[in-house]
Structure 1
């Protein structure tokens, strides 16, 4: 477990806001719809789902993205577990995650399982039905030590203007190195320096319509050699 932890305020006692980064954990409009638009649609999911599919993520946060992908995976008819690896520097507590996910009753069956497992082991070693793992610590250090190649990346750190460390060129290069040929990445941000770093990491980068009040987001594909 990281010796760091999330510092939170609660907007309307519903939406967690990081006081460290002055940024909410999910959309003020509709967090679940944003996750589906940015991370599922942005990675052409669930159409690309196949046995052995591996999603990786920068910024575990409340676990909302994991639950959304897990539900989509099962509803798509897959019968083997999805693999999902997430990196988090400032983990929330199980009680904080439980409170945050209460905003999404549609995910309640999955949220209950997640919170129970997270309370037992914050790496999610005891979560059944999905091959999930949360790697706590600074992703700039922890990602380098991994030996997987993901089919899709959810890049969900706090705003690049407020949390630039999670978007720096070296880390994006590691994301590229840990992506299969033909793999994808998506993020809610269209910040120029993020797109340039992703291009330098070997992705074909496209700016596409964002969710809600955000005009643009970013989709990426790693071409085959």
Structure 2
């Protein structure tokens, strides 16, 4: 399903309107500062941009408005466009480009990066699309419990950014966390905003080394993991 406009509302904040899923009763990104959250949790949590150079494959659970992707692109540009990267995101309820455009309006510091994403939005939902020289984006739609096990690649870094585990438990189940581990390259890393005990235990049981670190904003802790083999 592409059109999820009937399944969300907008919440006004000091930084602009934030989309909130009515199905999961959860915002698509931090009400405090979505860009700062992504930088702290997903970039710092995966030691990016220090790992740029050569080729890196980044994967994500929960594409949403594409904010994590755009923040990663911005960090890659700021780092001197070192190497190349492929960004694969798994999304169960893809938004329309129009919804994303409204959300992006709050992040003027992204400049032309957001319109560039919107120009390939539909193409990326159908398969790998070239966002810019050196950057490829693909959004795999459908139930992650089916699409991730069928995926034939591995990621060097994971962003686990689905809706809250308490509100979207299927996406954070032990089976999905095992699939994440199975599709992580040796010495690959994983970062997520949640520090929920069952998520950390599932990652540990999947064979990963898990640590709890300071979270962003109102969240005291977040989770990082690494595949040691």
What is the TM-score with the length of structure 2 in the denominator?
0.93
Q: Which residue of 1 aligns with 2:152?
A: 147
Give the structure 2 partner of residue 199 of structure 1.
Answer: 204
Between the aligned partners of 1:121 and 1:155, the Cα distance in structure 2 is: 19
**1:1-225 correspondence to structure 2 within 5 Å:** 2=1, 5=4, 7-12=7-12, 14-119=17-122, 122-123=125-126, 125-129=128-132, 130-224=135-229
CA offset at residue 204 of structure 1?
0.5
- 1:49 to partner: Cα distance: 1.6
Contact 2:156 2:189 in 1 (8 A): yes
Seen in structure 2, the aligned counterparts of structure 1 residues 123 and 36 have a Cα distance that, compared at 3 Å, is farther
Q: CA deviation at 1:81?
A: 3.1
Shift of the alpha carbon at 1:31? 0.7
Unaligned runs of at least 5 residues, structure 1: none
Aligned residues: 223
Q: Secondary structure at the match of 2:101?
A: helix
Change (3 A) 1:47 1:108: same
Partner secondary structure for residue 84 of structure 2: coil
Q: Structure 1's 14 and 123: CA in aligned 2 closer, same or farther, altered over 3 A?
A: farther
Deviation at 1:70, TM superposition (A): 1.1
Q: Is the 8 A contact 1:176 1:201 kept in 2?
A: yes
Q: How far off is 1:109 after superposition?
A: 1.1
Q: Distance in 1 between matches of 2:197 and 2:123?
A: 40
Listed one character per residue, the Cα deviations across residues 26-61 of structure 1 (whole Å, up to 9, x for unaligned) are: 111111000000000011111112221010000000
Alpha-carbon deviation of 1:116? 1.3
Distance 1:173 1:119 in 2: 30
Contact kept? 1:190, 1:207, Cα under 8 Å: yes
TM-score (norm 1): 0.94
CA deviation map 1:164-223 (0-9, x unaligned): 011000110000000011100000000000000011111100000000110000011110
Q: 1:4 to 1:144 in 2, by over 3 A?
A: farther
Q: Distance in 2 between matches of 1:121 and 1:210?
A: 30
Q: Deviations over 1:52-73 (max 9, x none)?
A: 1010000000000001111111
Do the aligned partners of 1:102 and 1:108 also contact (CA within 8 Å) in 2? Answer: no
**How big is the shift at 1:152?**
0.3
Cα RMSD (Å) of the superposition? 1.6
- 1:185 and 1:115 map into 2 onto residues whose CA distance is 27
* Distance (whole Å) between structure 2 residues aligned to residue 136 and residue 186 of structure 1: 21
